[in-house]
Chain A
Amino acid sequence: MQRVSFAAVLRVILTSVYAALSVILQCSVFPHLRLFGVIPELTLCAVVCIACCEDERVSCIIAVCAGFLLDTVGGDRFTLSPFLFLLAAALSIVLSRLVFRKKILPALISGAAALTVGALKTAVILAASGAAFGSALVKTALPQLLYGTVILLPVFLLTALHYRIFRYGRESKLKR
């Protein structure tokens, strides 16, 4: 049986807390920090960035759980986030493992793609609820995409720092 180190378990636990925290922030703090009248997809950004740095299996589980938690806490009638977040994480995994060596580009590309899909989802739901699609696209979906893109880089830097601490700890241990 494969031995799992304490540091790896701690890393997964802290990453889960990090994802849960992003959900809580998106639902309670960010509504007070609206730009253009919308709330950014903070959790989606966090999920994408985590998928670039974390193990594939852990990333997928975190993506599904974070999506479910977000829809539950947010009181959303639609529970589409677990599926969309999983797809976003999968895209991030593919880009970071197969296409690019550095982690920042896959995080930004898959993040932008996921945010676009998220914004379109919002526009479609608004249109299905009776709003004009064009109006929903311009007044809500586009600002949502822009705001999400603005916070994507800081979220990536924060996630990278989170993993850097673990890597630094492991390297210094090996040196000793």
Chain B
Amino acid sequence: MKFFKSKFFIITLIVAASIAVVFTAMSFLGYSSYIKTALHYVTVPVQKLSDAVGRAIDGYASYITEFDRLKKENEELKEQINGMIDEVQSAQAIRAENDELRRMLEVKEEHLDYKFEIADIVGREDGNYMTVFTLGRGRNNGIDRDMPIISSNSGLIGRITDAGATWSKACSIIEMNSSVGAYVERSRASGIVVGDYELELLGLCRLSYLQSDADVAVGDRVLTSGVGSVYPRGLIIGTVTEVKYDESLRTKYAIVKPYAEISGLNSITVITSYEKYVED
């Protein structure tokens, strides 16, 4: 076919191959290209709109698939709430909001050196091997690359991976490429919390590189150690749900359930500034 021998096709092929090589290499070297940044300015507003559509569809889809369960649950709930009045319901809602704000205040009081920026999640690009959150705030709000992000209950979610003027992208700690310096609160046993493909599907992560005699038990809380340049010390990563022994490496490792509810997030808190931890 003549078309495939034409200059046009050969040039297009070279351009496509060049884009693949150059942009992939730039991404791995940590440079966010200007073209990609410019494209985000155009696509983020469209994404906001279509994500809202997606959420609406999601709501209807779950309504259809879980109809029977919801119906049964609804009947049970009707029995339970029989006698309850509207004021009580609204009071509960206010209390829940109050609790959340109080938790945020506790975090602020506990870590006076922290500066926060709350950002809404405007897009969730769930790839088949990576999940990236798009946040509606960026450099104009003091958010920049490698800043830690936490949930309202002060559980660690992950970090900012990319930032533009009005948007930023974030990845969670359960992603495969993630690693966070951590220690067990009770015994001070230290290790590294890493993402794992199998566990990511279950919303879990792994506390690796523990000493073979490390004192770790189910229910222990795992906190950030502050080692490295991204996460401050003392943020809650999660709780240990299982402890295992790696025969080949002769080390212990633990399965950790993140404290933050990563899958159902609508907004997150970015720690824009904190005092670095210095080891004694």
Query: Interface of A with B (CB < 8 Å)?
Result: 24-25, 27-34, 37-39, 56-57, 60-61, 64, 67-69, 71-83, 85-86, 90, 93-94, 97-98, 122, 125-126, 129-132, 135-136, 139-140, 144
Are A79 and B23 neighbours in the complex by a CB distance under 8 Å?
A: yes
- Distance between Cα atoms of A97 and B198 in the complex (Å): 44
Question: Can you identify 13 A-B contacts, CB atoms within 8 angstroms?
Answer: A27-B123, A28-B53, A33-B61, A39-B126, A61-B12, A75-B134, A75-B161, A79-B24, A82-B19, A90-B4, A129-B129, A129-B197, A136-B197
Which residue from A31, A125, A130 sits with its C-beta under 8 Å from B54?
A: A31
Besides A31-B126, A86-B16, 4 other A-B contacts (C-beta < 8 A): A60-B9, A79-B27, A94-B1, A132-B198
Nearest-neighbour CB distance to chain A for B146, whole angstroms, equals: 15
Across-interface contacts of A81 in B (CB, < 8 A): 20
Known: A64-B12, A94-B1. A83 touches B53 (CB 8 A): no
Are B39 and A73 neighbours in the complex by a CB distance under 8 Å?
A: yes
Across-interface contacts of A126 in B (CB, < 8 A): 129, 176, 197
Number of A-B pairs whose CB atoms are under 8 Å? Answer: 140
Are A77 and B47 neighbours in the complex by a CB distance under 8 Å?
A: no
Across-interface contacts of A76 in B (CB, < 8 A): 127, 130
Known: A31-B125, A33-B61, A61-B12. A71 touches B54 (CB 8 A): no
Nearest-neighbour CB distance to chain A for B37, whole angstroms, equals: 9
- Distance between Cα atoms of A24 and B51 in the complex (Å): 9
Across-interface contacts of A29 in B (CB, < 8 A): 50, 53-54, 57
Name the residue of chain B whose CB is nearest to the CB of A131.
Answer: B197
Nearest-neighbour CB distance to chain A for B9, whole angstroms, equals: 7
The 9 closest A-B pairs by CB, nearest first: A131-B197, A79-B23, A32-B58, A75-B132, A28-B50, A31-B126, A29-B54, A32-B54, A83-B20
- Distance between Cα atoms of A43 and B223 in the complex (Å): 41
Across-interface contacts of A144 in B (CB, < 8 A): 128
Q: Count the B residues whose beta carbon is within 8 Å of the partner chain — how many?
A: 51
C-beta contact mask, B214-255 vs A, less than 8 Å → 1, else 0? 000000000000000000000000000000000000000000
- Distance between Cα atoms of A71 and B126 in the complex (Å): 12
- Distance between Cα atoms of A14 and B6 in the complex (Å): 26
Are A24 and B46 neighbours in the complex by a CB distance under 8 Å?
A: yes
Which residue from B28, B35, B125 sits with its C-beta under 8 Å from A27?
A: B125
- Distance between Cα atoms of A38 and B12 in the complex (Å): 31
Mostly helix, strand, loop or mixed at chain B's interface? helix
Are A132 and B197 neighbours in the complex by a CB distance under 8 Å?
A: yes
- Distance between Cα atoms of A34 and B127 in the complex (Å): 11
Are A72 and B43 neighbours in the complex by a CB distance under 8 Å?
A: yes
Known: A27-B47, A64-B19, A78-B24. A72 touches B125 (CB 8 A): no
B177 at the interface (CB under 8 A from A): yes
C-beta contact mask, B123-166 vs A, less than 8 Å → 1, else 0? 11111111010100000000000000000000000000110000
Are B47 and A64 neighbours in the complex by a CB distance under 8 Å?
A: no
Nearest-neighbour CB distance to chain A for B93, whole angstroms, equals: 26
Are A83 and B19 neighbours in the complex by a CB distance under 8 Å?
A: yes
- Distance between Cα atoms of A79 and B36 in the complex (Å): 11
- Distance between Cα atoms of A34 and B54 in the complex (Å): 11
Are B197 and A135 neighbours in the complex by a CB distance under 8 Å?
A: yes
Are B55 and A39 neighbours in the complex by a CB distance under 8 Å?
A: no
- Distance between Cα atoms of A38 and B127 in the complex (Å): 8
B169 at the interface (CB under 8 A from A): yes
Nearest-neighbour CB distance to chain A for B261, whole angstroms, equals: 17
Across-interface contacts of B198 in A (CB, < 8 A): 131-132, 135
